[in-house]
Chains A and B, each alone.
Chain A
Amino acid sequence: DAGVTQSPTHLIKTRGQQVTLRCSPKSGHDTVSWYQQALGQGPQFIFQYYEEEERQRGNFPDRFSGHQFPNYSSELNVNALLLGDSALYLCASSWLGVNTEAFFGQGTRLTVV
């Protein structure tokens, strides 16, 4: 089992551009969540997808959007990139339920210049 895989591992973009990050969940998991982690801070919840719908959302602007595919993989899209969007973006997968643990990928390091 490959666990949660994210691509790419590193990315450099220019202000104003758009970016797409990808996540493949752990085998058998149906729920994918995305987090943003700035340097020296804990991860911040962006949103969660289940059954191809956004189920829950954190305090992030509409520039952040996502998608979940029928095979449970997911994409995170960020439009109109700002310098402040530079961060480690983490994907976590789990089974939807009250008493479940989340498995995290290694993350995508996004640098906006």
Chain B
Amino acid sequence: DAKTTQPNSMESNEEEPVHLPCNHSTISGTDYIHWYRQLPSQGPEYVIHGLTSNVNNRMASLAIAEDRKSSTLILHRATLRDAAVYYCILGGGADGLTFGKGTHLIIQP
């Protein structure tokens, strides 16, 4: 499985934008980039996914580098409820997800 690299933790202030980076230099041409997050004491929750173009939804935006070797999850205005572990995952979508350790996002009020 292609591997992703994320910072162990990041800290941001409430109501400010947050940029969560992910490196995936060995990504294959058919790998989608998925982001999930896991709030304390809950199962993971889908955030967003994309293949080549930047993607937006109600939760976040996903910016994908032109060479696809890195991507950035953007939370436009963080709230305390966004404090969670964020996982960047590569895959074909139909297969089981390979989670790493993710980035622990801390939001300061």
Contact = CB atoms under 8 A, between A and B. Distances in A.
Interface of A: 4, 31, 33, 35, 41-45, 47-48, 56, 58, 90, 92, 94, 96-107
A107 B43 contact: yes
Nearest to A98: B93
Contact of B44 (A43, A94, A100): A43
A103 B44 CA distance: 8
B11 to A, nearest CB: 19
Interface in B81-108: 85, 87, 92-102
Contacts of A47: 96
Contacts of A94: 94
A96 B97 CA distance: 13
A45 B93 contact: no
Contact of A45 (B87, B92, B97, B101): B97
A107 B42 CA distance: 8
A42 B96 contact: no
Given A42-B102, A105-B43, A106-B42, A98 B92 contact: yes
Nearest to B45: A104
A56 B96 contact: yes
A48 B94 CA distance: 10
Contacts of B99: 35, 42-45
Interface string B33-65: 010100000111110010000000000000000
A42 B94 contact: no
Contacts of A44: 99
Contacts of B49: 99, 101
Given A42-B100, A58-B96, A102-B36, 19 more contacts: A35-B99, A41-B101, A42-B85, A43-B44, A43-B99, A45-B98, A45-B99, A47-B96, A56-B96, A90-B43, A94-B94, A99-B32, A99-B49, A99-B93, A101-B49, A102-B44, A104-B44, A106-B43, A107-B43
A33 B45 contact: no
